[in-house]
A and B are shown apart, each in its own frame.
Chain A
Amino acid sequence: MRHKELTVETRIKKEGQLTQVMHRLRKNKLAMAGLYIILILIIVAILSPFIAPYDYTKMDMSLKYAKPSLKHIFGCDDLGRDIFSRLMYGSRASLSLGIIATLVSTFIGIIIGSVAGYYGGKIDNVIMRLLDVIQAIPGMLLSIAISAALGSGFINTIIALAIGGVPMTVRLLRGSIMTIRNQEYIEAAEKINATKLRIISRHILPNSIAPLIVSVTMGIGNTILMAASLSYIGLGIQPPTPEWGAMLSAGKPVIEKYPHLCIFPGLCIMVVVLAFNMLGDGLRDALDPKLKN
């Protein structure tokens, strides 16, 4: 009976915190703008086959390099395909790459980080030295190398993008676990013989979740940027799949005459990344009000 009451109490308290965070977030106009942009883009990505004005593969050589007009608001590309429709489809690749790669790297990072932070000692030392090596290679360079080794394609690009992000999550989580692990409630959980997995998943993770949420949000934006760079230099996602970085790359040779081939894909990348950064900034302030004041 007492146990039941306790859980009800903690649930109420948790909801209270969440409402507080949401309340603070709602007051932040930039963050909300970011959130709305992201939601709209996700809807566009999902619904693109139904709402795109043209088929993204439909070629019309009479419209080759057509300038923006009322019919084709962003103009047409080298094969007379509607750029606006291609951008709508392209949001699928960019968003899913960014989100999946970041989630994968966060997931791996959480596992390795919890092990390193919770067990400490030799295991921690070995893990951290290995991460030192990975981090000694600039992230972009590492992604280029992995992408070159694995070849282009969706899954390979996700792997290439995810590996570079792992060390950061590990460090973040390890740091917060190290500060949490000497707290009394962890000691209490250990004393009542809770398993290590339970302690990590039920006590440690929820208490270090705030910085993780922020790092995931910012990470998605950053990963989208890297994915576009990879496709731009000819790795990552390749034509004919519409992808913003690859579209930019295709427009580069004719940029002097037809800059609209490059302007719009770049704007799309910028808006998405900006939205994730604005939301991330807002979440950081909302989750940790101490930092703001």
Chain B
Amino acid sequence: MARYILKRLLLMIPVMLGIAILIFTIMYFCPGDPAALMLGAGATQVEIAQKRIELGLDQPYFIRLLQYLKQVFIDLDLGDSYFYGTSVAAGIMSRMRYTLLIALSSMGLQILIGMPLGIVAATHRNGLADRICMMIALLGVSIPGFWLALMMVVLFSVKLGWLPLYGVGGIQYFILPVIANSFAGIATQARQTRSSMLEVIRSDYVATARAKGLSEREVLFKHALPNALIPIITIVGNGMGMMLGGAVVIENVFSIPGIGSYMMSAINGRDYPIVLSGVLVLGVTFSFIMLLVDIIYAFVDPRIKANYERKAIRRKKSAA
């Protein structure tokens, strides 16, 4: 098992490098000259040219790419913001907690609400409960999260005055963002849980479990659910990606100072180091979550685990 985790961790390195190269390349084609933007409208051509040299913008693509990769992966430095001159790493660190808080609590809601909804729908197949759950799920995957957020603001903050409009503070500031951000995830989770449960419920071993007189509860939670877990966990991981991407938009709606709003203001100001690092950090976070998902697979699916242990045993034997 340790060998498997180690192997997966090593595989992360090329992926991280790949993300950095990809995002750097995309940003390289950004229109607009940060040097000119930084100096304002009054700057002369000479001043702009000097600034470009100072920022290293005059170098060709490959040199800049190599410099960037060295800076990020060897010096472990995300660079400084063009405009504020402050460290991007520090800026991201101070904002990361808001983005992570929203993304992780959304993922929690997705699991806590989405999975039970899917199980209820699957066990009451074609009944009223199934129809209601699936209608909610269908709505969930179709409603734009940011619109839901706005509508909830109108209802709960403006009309009823129960919750704050925007900004950050106590837990009450995060209720609406998390609900809005997780609704699509809950819906996807419910749909996937339902379909993989339905597939498993039809199988012979569930029929056997029923035939030997187990209670419906035992059948469901001991025999059906564990076997349906793999695709369900996959959706949890994918959901995290959706939540991280969605958090960027949701932060915008609620003016939450997370990585998303940091990046959006940087996009408007052509502050490349911030945009680059923001996508890089979120991408790497997502990759780690997916790695975690793969490791959890091995724990819930004895077949995957056995596969690796068998290989390890074989390796030991051949070594001896």
Contacts and interface: CB of A to CB of B under 8 A. Distances in A.
B89 to A, nearest CB: 19
Contacts of B268: 234
A208 B279 CA distance: 34
B158 interface: yes
A255 B150 contact: yes
Among A139, A145, A248, A255, max chain B CB count under 10 A is at A145
B19 A262 contact: no
A221 B154 CA distance: 26
A152 to B, nearest CB: 11
B241 A274 contact: no
Interface in B227-254: 241-242, 244-246, 248-249, 252-253
A132 B18 contact: yes
Contacts of B282: 137-138, 141
A141 B245 contact: yes
B312 interface: no
Nearest to B290: A136
Among A140, A234, A248, A269, max chain B CB count under 10 A is at A140
Contact of A232 (B14, B146, B290): B146
A139 B27 CA distance: 16
B15 A136 contact: yes
Interface in B269-286: 275, 279, 282-284, 286
Nearest to A251: B150
Interface residues of B, number: 48
B245 A139 contact: yes
B138 A281 contact: yes
A133 B241 CA distance: 13
Nearest to B282: A141
B252 A133 contact: no
A151 B26 CA distance: 12
Contacts of A281: 138
B154 A132 contact: no
Contacts of A228: 144
Nearest to B26: A149
B142 A139 contact: no
B245 A140 contact: yes
B5 interface: no
Contact of B14 (A129, A221, A248, A278): A129
A137 B138 contact: no
Contact of A266 (B144, B244, B263): B144
Interface of A: 129-130, 132-134, 136-142, 144-146, 148-151, 221, 225, 228-229, 232-235, 245, 248, 252, 255-256, 259, 262-263, 265-266, 269-270, 273-274, 277-278, 281, 291
**6 closest cross-chain pairs (CB), A and B:** A140-B245, A133-B18, A266-B147, A138-B245, A138-B241, A274-B142
Given A149-B26, A234-B264, 18 more contacts: A136-B15, A137-B22, A138-B245, A138-B286, A145-B23, A148-B27, A148-B30, A148-B275, A149-B28, A225-B142, A229-B145, A229-B146, A255-B150, A259-B154, A262-B150, A273-B141, A274-B138, A277-B141
9 contacts: A129-B14, A133-B15, A138-B245, A148-B267, A228-B144, A252-B150, A255-B150, A255-B153, A266-B144
